Amino acid sequence: MKRRALLRHLTAMDCELVREGGNHSWWRNRRSNKRSAVPRHQEIHDLLAKKICQDLGIADP
């Protein structure tokens, strides 16, 4: 999955960017206040995308 598509999904599911780290971007779910790191790769493996969504408590992309 492309990183850009995952970020669009996170934004649509009411998540927000908290901060930019060295190699990752930290995202937070506004409703549940759960956080997860999203790596800065152009291509993100589907299993990792599912794990990020599970960590944030949202539906899989």
Residue range 7-55, pLDDT digits in tens: 999 999 999 999 999 999 999 999 999 999 999 999 999 999 999 999 9
Q: With a threshold of 0.85, does the pTM exceed it?
A: yes
The token pair at 29 is 């779910």
Q: What is the CATH number of domain 3-56?
A: 3.30.920
Domain boundary assignment for the chain: 3-56
Task: Return d(Cα 56, Cα 61) in angstroms, integer.
Answer: 12
Task: Return d(Cα 56, Cα 42) in angstroms, integer.
Answer: 21
